[in-house]
Structures are given as C-alpha cells and as structure tokens.
C-alpha cells in the first residue's frame, strides 16, 4: 500500500488489487506505452502531456486503493482524452470532444454519488463491493462508461473522429476501466445478461458499418459485452475471465486500430467501399491485420481464443452461451469483411499516388502487439498464473471453430453484399431545429434578465407576501 | 488585539478618504497608497482570524460602552471564516486593480476601499442596526461600481440593482423595527438569547422579511434577475469582488439573522425547506441558464447563482454538518470565482471580446491564462482534487446524513451541466482561428495579475487537500455558534454491507 499524500488518512492510496495478477496490470501498462510510441511516431506535434496523463490515469484507476483515487483516475482519463481529441484545434475531433467529456463526467458524477453513499454508510473509502443503496448509481455510471447500446454515441463518435494516431490510445482504457470498476464494485443481478445482449447487438451494428474505424468501434461495444458477461456473474472465475478478456482485447483492439491508422496514414481513406488492394502494397500491415482479426474472432492459438474459452467456462446459463456463440460467428464475419474491404478486394477508385508500406516507426508497435497476441494464444495460462485451466481441450477448440466455420460460410453467401457501396446519408433536420429552439430560448432568457423592472418589484413583494403568509399560518393556524 | 475589529473597518475607510485626497494632490502616489492599504488590511484581517482560530472570540465595545447602549464588534469562529473572505478577498481585488489599471485607478479604487470597509464591517459587527448601516453602504457602493463604466447599459443595470437593493433594505428595516419593538435591543447576541421568547407572529414576519431581503442580495431565484447584467456591466475585475466577497458576506448575514431569530437549533422547518428547495432550484436554474449564455461574464454570473444554491442547500439541511459544508463552499466559491473572473478577463483581453464564440485560439495566444482559467473553472465544476469537489462532497454527505437523496442528484446534475458550458469554452479556445489573430494591446501588470490569480489557483488545489484538516474546526464553529445537533440520526447506517468475502477486495490488515 502506497500513500499518495502522507498525512491524509481518509483516502488517496494505491494498492494493487488482490486477486488480479500483476502480469495483467503490467500488460495494461505495456500496451499503453506501445500506443504512446505509435502516437508519438505519427503526430508531428507530439502529444506528450495528454498521452502521459492518459496512461497514468488508466494505471491509477487500476491500482487505486480507495474510491477517491479511483474517481480521480476516471477524471484524469476523461480530461486527457478530451485534449487528445481537441488538440488539433480543428476538425471532427474538436467538435466531438465536449460531447465525449459530458458523457464521461456524467458517469463520474454518478460514481461520485455512489461513493458518497458508500462512505456515508460504511465510513470507509476502500475499494470494495458497494452497499446496496449505492449499487444503482454505480451501475448507471458503469453503463455510461462501457457504452451500452442506447448510450454508445460518445464512443463511436469519439473513436472515429480522433486523429488516427491517438485512436488506439483512446480505445485503450476508457471502457475497460468501466469493466474493471464493475468487477471491483458491483454485485447487481442482470449485468451478465446485459453484457451478452450487448455482445451480439454490437456485432450486428458493426456488420452494418461502412467505415473501418466505425466497425472497430462497434466491436469495442461487442467485446465489452463479452467482458461484462463474465464480470457480471460476480463469481471469482467470471471476474478473472472478464478481466483477462479485457487485457487480451486491449492488445488486439489497439493492434487493429493501429493497422487502420497506418492505412489511413498511407491512403487518406477510411471507408471500406473505397479501400482495397493493399495486401501487396502493405504486406506487414496486412499480416498484423490478420493476426488482430484472428485474435478478436477467437481463432485457436491466438489470445482471444483463450479468454473467450475461459468466459464460456465461467458461464452457466445456456442462452448466454448461445448469444456469445452467435456473437463469435458475427465477429468472424465482420472481420472477414474488414480484411477483404481494406486489403483484398480490388479498389473501386484507383489511388492517386503509389501506396507504400507503413513506416518502420508505426510498424514496430504493431509487430510487438502481434507477437503478444500469439504469445497469449500459445501460453494462455501465463496471463493468469493463479488459475489452473485446460484451454486446449477438444470440445473447447470445437466450440471455437464451429462459429468460425459458420462465419466463413456466411461470407461466401452474403459477403459481397456487405461490402456494396452506399451513398453517404443526408444530414438530418433535427440538429437545425434544435439549434433554432436553443436560439429562441436564449433570446427569451436575455429578454427576461434585461427586462421589465416593474415586474421585478412585483416579484419581490409577491415573494415576501407568500413567505410571510406561510410562516404566519404555521404559528397561528 | 482587541482593537483589531475596529481596524479592519477603519483601515479601508481611511484608505478611501486618503485615496480620494491623494488623487487630487499627488496622483502618482495613489498606487503605492492602495498597495499599502491592501497589505495593512490583509495582514490585520489574517492576524485577527488566526487569533480567533487559536484562542476563541475577540470582542470590542466601541467607546467602552457595554452592550445595551453601546455597539459591540464581535469576531467569533463563524464570522472569522467570512472575515477571512472579506478581509483577504478585498485586498486581493485592490491589488489586482492596482496592478492592471493603466493609469491611476481612480474612483473605482475609492469605491472598492469603501466596499472593503463595508463588507468587513458586516462580518465583525455584533449590532443589528450597525449591520443594517454596513449593508446599505455596500448597496450604495455597489451601485457606483455597477455604473462605473458610464455607459447607458451600465446605468440601466445600476438602476435595476438600485430598485432591488432598496427593496432589500426596506424589508431588512422592517425586520429590525419589528425586532426592536419586541425585544428593546439591537444587540445580536441578546436577540439570539431572546429568540425563543419572541412573539411567534413577530418572529414569523421578521423571518420572512430577512429571507426576502437577503434572497435579493444572494440572488435566490426568482430574485436574481438583477445579477447577471450587473456583473457584466461592472466588468470582470470588480464582478469578482461583488460575487466572491459580496455574496459570501450576505450569506453570513443571512445565517446570523435567521439562526438568531430561530433561537439556535429551533429554526422553523418551513424556512429550512425554503432554503433547501430554493437552493436546489438555484443550482438547476443557474446552471441551465449559464448553458445558453454567450458572454463569459454573464456565464460566470449565472454560475454564481448556481453556487449560491449549493450554499443555501447546505444551510437548509439544518444540521451542523450541512451548515459547515455550506459555509465552506461559500469560502471556496469566493476563491475560485475570483480566479475565474480574473483569468477570464485576461482571455477576453486577448480576444478583444467577451463573446465566447469569438474566443478562438486564445488557448494558444495565452496558454498560461488558459491553464489558470481551466483550474479555476474545474474547481467550480467540482472536479477532484480541487477544493470545489471537497465542499460539494461534504454537502452531499451532509444531505445523505439526513436521508435526503435528491440534493445529491441535483449536485451531480449541476456538475454535469456546468462542465458542459465550460467545456464548450475550452473547445472554442482550443480551436485554431482561420486568420491569425492580431496581437492584443499590451495589458499592464500581466505578471502581477498572473501571480495573484496563480496564488488563488494554488489555494484551490491546496485547500482541496487541506479540507479534512479544516473541517473539524468548522464543525465546531457551527455547533458552538448555534448549539446545533451534530447530525440528526443516520437513517442509512442500519443497512449493513454484505458480508460475503470479496475476492477483489482489499487484503485484510
């Protein structure tokens, strides 16, 4: 246990959580550093401060020994992400940044209410299971943080409008911190079910996407659903499986965002119906993409397989298993679409300049992450040394292969249709009307506050009369 | 030491006189004189506050006359907190004004000196009529401060304020007349002692009048309509004092009078409910209206409306914990609002406009000021580890102690809304402008002003960590001043946490 500030007993200390292996925490830190290297290589003006604060905030949350430190970690993540989004000073990232911050701080405010109730009932700020009164608030905070489907706008908008170099970093901690907090704080029935539905809904939404990073973003929602399906069980095995999946997910999802980033860097395109034919031009990036796609789809020998297998083993309800199985098939299909769209299919419009392989500074983080994906699949029990589990049994491999075969078959049937070009949607009228409404409201407010002073005087006398009447009635009814 | 309560009034009062004199004779000496007055006032106030914190109340009878005839000046633990705000906030304002005004600060400085005397007087006086005189003095000075720019708009806002403030004075006078007829004394301590024996109808009417009188001064919705325009007209450097010191001191007077009339712990439930519900309404209305403002000063003014709501919410809980949290928030708000107004003023100067949509790129033009503004506004929002978070957390805890969830939800919602309007400003400030901005006119005293604001921002950070150390003293002050119960039962503490072993929980010690 490390005190952040000597002399203060009420909070602010670090304590590596018991029951979560240090390797797991180290993994989070290592992936954070790799994403940092990637961001620094790709941006001309290095985002040093915000990136460091972001990684630090993530680690602070994971190591928090008390709820106050946890909250500070959440806030550091939110604000550094805000600056990472806004730092170019123009473009979609700047537009989305306040929305992102609103959602994040809304979640933090809910967590704050939960923390207050917890401190009030138990008198301690330890990170522990919250009292039943505080659970609904903390659950609401987590639901916003992990972007359950009707509240997912911030995630998709932010991760697709961020500069490509920082997108891997942004996708790294925010949602996983929600999962981790759920594992530490929540015991509320229904989380696992919500997670399983999320896993499938995210995949279905991802299948409909035309843009590479939007597809990846919806897969975050789906993968976080997997994690919640484990963490929400509130059993020891479930929590470990969920967090193990979180670590594996962090590795392959940042790899996939890096691959997409390298593609955007070299081509300037990101819609799947405008890309294609990069397999020959960018072989290393293609290979990294294959590794990432195989991991996220749960192909045996890659790390996604190991944690998905552990999750299935932790789950008991049959229909949750079925939902996760369907989600796996959908994931496989979705990434066949991704790889085909970006690398394999012939490009619809020729590129204006010859495409080169990604520069070496972007390639080596991808190479390290790919190696980690493979290592996690080959030695699955290394990530959770405390847990004895036989990952490569016949039935577990079969359970992983069946949905993959299903997705390949589906790809043969409907794959072309998934990649068909579609026109961009027309901008909606809702925004314009809302702006008009706010404008009218503003004019009305300004008019009231500059306005009729006779009415003000009436208001004062009315207030006095009402108050005096009420007080007098109380003393002599 | 016992003459210090007189000094905190006399120093700025004499300063006002000397400044106006020196301005006619030796204009060059105005600035050094102002600095001397500010330093003297700050040091005396700090010494007085320290003495009270260390060894209890300090009192002084003017002319040696005892209470029924003479006027007493009393500084106890409760008024010491507010004296700290008035006695250090006003000197900082004077220093800021001296540093940033291009020529000699002139009439504004005289008015601010008078304002310092009046606000310090409000906190130290132990006499009801004396309090009234000081409040009227603040009113008159405030009118001058609002109208100081001499434009038509500022005259209109000064007129609005004049109307409101006269009504406030009228009702306060009504309350004083009622109380004097019923008790035959104007000494606050004696009125507090006689409080329970007051005829109930008199007490009720006096309470209603006091509430309306200070509701206007503190900007309790819907009596806040004068305030945003007045702050915008007065300009940021003065609005910081009006919001940071003026509102805080009015809160003190409200607390003093309401709790005296109610006779200690027997404040009518209705008044508490009005304060609590009114506080919640203030928070929501202030923040929502702040969201649609386009002028930084008006936005910060509405934020003041909302923060008055937080303070009143704490008072309305009716427990020592709530009162202490409310008062702490009042002091905290003074610090962060002054920092926000002054750093916001620097941003406005760099953009040459107070309009938020035109602030593009000021974050790059003035990174230091932008960072200070962010610290101040994040403290206002209540982001840990700044002290705004600490007092909001204490407020939430005090309200949960009473088994009330709604104020906590209001606090959380208010936090999110206020963040929205500050975040919008950050985003505009971070946007790279299409055309490079013309360099702003060189503003005098940038470094001195920056130093003052940086000190305030550091206080935001340091007090956030020092809150656990400060809180017991405040609790004691609240309990001793009014004989309040520490807390009225813990309805939640019956629910015991689950005893299932948590595999992720902390290791057993």
Q: How far apart are CA A260 and CA A339, in angstroms?
A: 10
C-alpha torsion sign, points B145, B148, B153, B155: positive
Q: Which B residues in the span 202-231 are in contact with A, Cβ-Cβ below 8 Å? A: 203-205, 207-209, 211-212, 215-216, 222-223, 225-226, 228-229
A-B CB pairs within 8 A amount to: 192
Q: Which residue among B216, B294, B361 places its CB closest to the CB of A460?
A: B216
CA distance A412 to chain B (A): 45
| Chain A residues touching residue B216 (CB < 8 angstroms) | 460
Q: Do B503 and A18 touch (CB under 8 A)?
A: yes
Does B289 contact A at CB distance below 8 Å?
Answer: yes
Q: Per-residue pLDDT tens for A130-180?
A: 888 889 889 999 999 998 888 888 898 898 888 888 899 998 899 999 999
Predicted ipTM > 0.90: no
Does B82 contact A at CB distance below 8 Å?
Answer: no
Q: Do B397 and A97 touch (CB under 8 A)?
A: no
Q: Which residue among A5, A89, A463 places its CB closest to the CB of B212?
A: A463
Q: Do A475 and B203 touch (CB under 8 A)?
A: yes
| Chain A residues touching residue B385 (CB < 8 angstroms) | 72
CA atoms within 13 A on the CB side of A374: 10
Mutate to test the interface with B, among A109, A183, A187 (most CBs of B within 10 A): A109
Q: Do A65 and B506 touch (CB under 8 A)?
A: yes
Does B61 contact A at CB distance below 8 Å?
Answer: no
Predicted pLDDT of residue A1 = 59
User: Tokens in use for B133?
Assistant: 């005189």
Q: Do A98 and B423 touch (CB under 8 A)?
A: yes
Q: How far apart are CA A388 and CA A377, in angstroms?
A: 16
Does B174 contact A at CB distance below 8 Å?
Answer: no
Predicted pLDDT of residue A5 = 57
Predicted pLDDT of residue A44 = 76
Alpha helices in B358-445 (DSSP H): 362-365, 367-381, 387-401, 406-430
Instruction: Pick the residue from chain B with its C-alpha nearest to A68.
Output: B384
Cα distances (angstroms) measured from residue B51 to each of B57, B80, B90, B480: 8, 9, 20, 17
DSSP assignment of A54-65 equals HHHHHHHHHHBS
Q: How far apart are CA B180 and CA A322, in angstroms?
A: 80
Q: How far apart are CA A227 and CA A224, in angstroms?
A: 5
Q: Bigger pLDDT: A21 or A347?
A: A347
Q: Do B270 and A470 touch (CB under 8 A)?
A: yes
Q: Bigger pLDDT: B2 or A326?
A: A326
Give Cβ neighbours of residue A2 (< 8 Å, ≥ 6 apart).
Answer: A13, A14, A15, A65
Q: Which residue among B205, B293, B495 places its CB closest to the CB of A121?
A: B495
| Chain B residues touching residue A5 (CB < 8 angstroms) | 465
Average pLDDT over residues A372-391: 84
* Three-state SS at B127: strand
Instruction: Pick the residue from chain A with its C-alpha nearest to B208.
Output: A468
The three-point CA angle B50-B387-B252 to 5° equals: 55
CA distance A100 to chain B (A): 10
| Chain A residues touching residue B400 (CB < 8 angstroms) | 116-117, 120
Site of tokens 């306040």: A98
Q: Bigger pLDDT: B44 or A11?
A: B44
Q: Which residue among B419, B502, B505 places its CB closest to the CB of A101?
A: B419
C-alpha torsion sign, points B97, B103, B104, B109: negative
User: Tokens in use for B58?
Assistant: 């300090």
Question: Quick one: which of A328, A319, A309, A432 has its CA closest to A376?
Answer: A309
Predicted pLDDT of residue B502 = 39
Mutate to test the interface with B, among A471, A473, A474, A475 (most CBs of B within 10 A): A471
Q: Which residue among A187, A236, A467 places its CB closest to the CB of B212?
A: A467
Q: How deeply is B461 buried, as exposed, middle or buried, from its count of CB atoms within 10 A (0-12, 13-18, 19+)?
A: middle
| Chain A residues touching residue B294 (CB < 8 angstroms) | 442
| Chain A residues touching residue B171 (CB < 8 angstroms) | 464
Q: Bigger pLDDT: A268 or A87?
A: A268
* Three-state SS at B126: coil
| Chain B residues touching residue A442 (CB < 8 angstroms) | 292-294
CA distance A78 to chain B (A): 11
Cα distances (angstroms) measured from residue B272 to each of B196, B218, B278, B502: 17, 16, 10, 42
Does B401 contact A at CB distance below 8 Å?
Answer: yes
Q: Do A126 and B506 touch (CB under 8 A)?
A: yes
Q: Looking at the predicted structure, is the pLDDT value of residue A472 above 90?
A: no
Give Cβ neighbours of residue A427 (< 8 Å, ≥ 6 apart).
Answer: none
Mutate to test the interface with A, among B281, B503, B509 (most CBs of A within 10 A): B503
Does B361 contact A at CB distance below 8 Å?
Answer: yes
Predicted pLDDT of residue B507 = 39
pLDDT tier at A32 (50, 70, 90 boundaries)? Answer: very high
Alpha-carbon B261 to chain mean position:
23
Q: Which residue among B211, B430, B465 places its CB closest to the CB of A467?
A: B211
Cα distances (angstroms) measured from residue A310 to each of A176, A307, A459, B87: 18, 5, 67, 65
CA distance B42 to chain A (A): 30
Q: Which B residues in the span 245-274 are in contact with A, Cβ-Cβ below 8 Å? A: 268, 270-271, 274
Does B420 contact A at CB distance below 8 Å?
Answer: yes
Walking along chain B (509 residues) 10 residues at a time, the average pLDDT comes out as: 86 93 89 93 94 85 75 86 93 93 83 95 90 94 92 90 92 93 85 80 89 92 88 92 94 88 67 91 92 90 95 90 91 95 92 87 89 94 85 88 88 89 89 76 82 94 78 76 52 37 38
Q: Per-residue pLDDT tens for A40-60?
A: 888 877 788 889 999 999 999
Predicted pLDDT of residue B259 = 82
Q: Per-residue pLDDT tens for A183-225?
A: 888 888 888 898 999 999 999 989 888 888 999 999 999 999 9
| Chain B residues touching residue A127 (CB < 8 angstroms) | 504-506
Q: Per-residue pLDDT tens for A389-427?
A: 888 888 888 888 998 999 999 988 887 777 776 655 555
Q: Do A82 and B507 touch (CB under 8 A)?
A: no
Q: Which residue among A72, A97, A184 places its CB closest to the CB of B427?
A: A97
Instruction: Pick the residue from chain B with its C-alpha nearest to A440.
Output: B292
Domain ranges across chain A: 1-183, 189-419, 431-475
Q: How far apart are CA A34 and CA A37, in angstroms?
A: 5
Q: How far apart are CA A272 and CA B2, in angstroms?
A: 81
Instruction: Pick the residue from chain A with its C-alpha nearest to B396.
Output: A116
Question: Quick one: which of A162, A168, A173 has its CA closest to A57?
Answer: A173
Q: Per-residue pLDDT tens for A434-452?
A: 778 878 887 887 777 776 7
Site of tokens 């005259």: B155
| Chain A residues touching residue B416 (CB < 8 angstroms) | 102, 105-106, 109
Predicted pLDDT of residue B495 = 36
């Amino acid at each position: 246990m490390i005190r952040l500030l000597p002399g203060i007993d009420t909070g602010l200390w670090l304590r590596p959580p018991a029951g979560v292996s240090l390797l797991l925490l180290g993994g989070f830190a290592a992936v954070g550093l790799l994403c940092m290297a990637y961001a620094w290589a790709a941006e001309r003006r290095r985002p040093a401060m915000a990136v460091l604060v972001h990684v630090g905030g993530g680690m602070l949350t994971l190591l928090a020994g008390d709820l106050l430190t946890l909250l500070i970690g959440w806030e550091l993540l939110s604000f550094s992400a805000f600056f990472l989004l806004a730092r170019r000073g123009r473009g979609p990232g700047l537009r989305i940044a306040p929305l992102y911050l609103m959602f994040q701080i809304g979640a933090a405010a809910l967590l704050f209410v939960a923390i207050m109730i917890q401190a009030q009932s138990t008198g301690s700020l330890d990170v522990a299971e919250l009292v039943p009164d505080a659970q609904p608030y903390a659950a609401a905070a987590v639901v916003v943080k992990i972007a359950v489907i009707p509240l997912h706008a911030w995630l998709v908008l932010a991760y697709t409008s961020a500069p490509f170099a920082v997108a891997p970093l942004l996708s790294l901690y925010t949602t996983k911190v929600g999962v981790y907090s759920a594992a530490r704080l929540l015991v509320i029935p229904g989380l696992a079910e919500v997670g399983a539905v999320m896993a499938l809904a995210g995949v279905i939404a991802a299948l409909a996407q035309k843009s590479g990073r939007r597809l990846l973003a919806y897969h975050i929602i789906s993968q976080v659903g997997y994690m919640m399906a484990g963490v929400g069980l509130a059993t020891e095995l479930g929590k470990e499986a969920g967090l193990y999946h979180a670590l594996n997910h962090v590795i392959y999802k940042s790899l996939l965002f890096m691959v997409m980033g390298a593609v955007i860097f070299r081509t300037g395109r990101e819609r799947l119906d405008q890309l294609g034919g990069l397999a020959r031009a960018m072989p290393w990036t293609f290979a990294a993409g294959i590794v990432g796609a195989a991991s996220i789809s749960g192909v045996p020998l890659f790390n996604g397989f190991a944690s998905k297998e552990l999750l299935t083993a932790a789950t008991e309800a049959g229909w949750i298993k079925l939902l996760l199985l369907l989600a796996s098939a959908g994931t496989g299909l979705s990434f066949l679409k991704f790889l085909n769209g970006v690398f394999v299919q012939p490009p619809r419009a020729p590129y204006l300049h010859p495409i080169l392989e990604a520069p070496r500074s972007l390639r080596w983080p991808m190479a390290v992450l790919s190696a980690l994906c493979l290592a996690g699949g080959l030695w699955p029990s290394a990530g959770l040394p405390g847990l004895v589990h036989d990952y490569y049994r016949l039935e577990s491999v079969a359970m992983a292969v069946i949905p993959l075969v299903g997705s390949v078959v589906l790809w043969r049937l409907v794959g072309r249709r998934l990649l068909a070009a579609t026109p961009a949607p027309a901008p909606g009228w809702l925004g314009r009307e809302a702006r008009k409404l706010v404008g009218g409201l503003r004019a009305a407010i300004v008019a009231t506050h500059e306005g009729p002073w006779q009415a003000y005087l009436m208001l004062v006398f009315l207030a006095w009369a009402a108050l005096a009447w009420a007080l007098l009635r109380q003393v002599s009814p | 030491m016992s003459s210090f309560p007189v000094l905190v009034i006399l120093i700025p009062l004499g300063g006002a006189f000397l400044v106006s004199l020196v301005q006619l004779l030796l204009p060059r000496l105005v600035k050094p004189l102002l600095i001397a007055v500010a330093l003297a006032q700050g040091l005396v106030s700090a010494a007085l506050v320290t003495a009270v914190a260390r060894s209890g109340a300090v009192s002084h009878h003017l002319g040696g006359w005892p209470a029924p005839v003479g006027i007493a000046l009393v500084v106890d633990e409760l008024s010491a907190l507010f004296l700290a705000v008035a006695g250090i906030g006003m000197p900082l304002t004077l220093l800021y004004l001296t540093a940033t005004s291009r020529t000699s600060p002139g009439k504004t400085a005289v008015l601010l000196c008078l304002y310092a005397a009046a606000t310090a007087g409000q906190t130290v006086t132990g006499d009801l009529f004396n309090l009234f005189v000081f409040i009227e003095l603040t009113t008159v000075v405030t009118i001058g401060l609002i109208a100081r720019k001499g434009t038509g708009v500022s005259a209109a806002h000064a007129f609005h304020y004049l109307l409101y403030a006269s009504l406030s004075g009228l009702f306060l006078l009504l309350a004083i007349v009622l109380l004097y007829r019923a008790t035959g004394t104007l000494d606050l301590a004696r009125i507090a002692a006689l409080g329970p024996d007051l005829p109930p109808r008199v007490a009720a009417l006096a309470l209603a009048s006091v509430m309306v009188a200070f509701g206007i001064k503190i900007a309790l919705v819907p009596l806040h309509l004068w305030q945003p325009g007045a702050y915008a007209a007065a300009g940021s450097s003065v609005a910081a004092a009006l919001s940071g010191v003026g509102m805080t001191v009015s809160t003190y007077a409200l607390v003093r009078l309401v709790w005296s009339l109610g006779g200690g712990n027997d404040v009518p439930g209705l008044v508490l409910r009005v304060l609590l519900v009114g506080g919640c309404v203030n928070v929501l209305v202030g923040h929502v209206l702040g969201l649609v403002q386009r002028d930084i000063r008006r936005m910060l003014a509405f934020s003041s409306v909302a923060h008055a709501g937080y303070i009143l919410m704490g008072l309305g809980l009716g427990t020592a914990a709530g009162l202490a949290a409310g008062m702490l928030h009042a002091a905290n708000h003074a610090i962060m609002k002054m920092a926000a107004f002054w750093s916001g003023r620097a941003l406005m100067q760099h953009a040459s406009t107070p309009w938020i949509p035109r602030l593009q790129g000021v974050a790059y033009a003035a990174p230091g000021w932008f960072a200070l503004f962010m610290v101040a506004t994040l403290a206002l929002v209540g982001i840990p580890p700044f002290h705004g978070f600490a007092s909001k957390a204490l407020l939430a805890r005090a309200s949960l102690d009473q088994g009330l969830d709604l104020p906590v939800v209001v606090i959380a919602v208010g936090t999110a809304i206020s963040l929205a309007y500050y975040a919008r400003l950050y985003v505009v400030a971070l946007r790279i402008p299409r055309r490079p901005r013309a360099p702003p006119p060189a503003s005098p005293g940038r470094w001195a002003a920056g130093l003052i604001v940086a000190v305030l921002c550091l206080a935001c950070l340091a007090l956030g960590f020092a809150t656990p150390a400060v809180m017991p003293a405040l609790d004691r002050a609240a309990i001793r001043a009014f004989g309040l119960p520490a807390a009225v039962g813990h309805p939640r503490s019956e629910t015991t946490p689950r005893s299932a072993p948590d595999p992720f929980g902390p290791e057993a010690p």
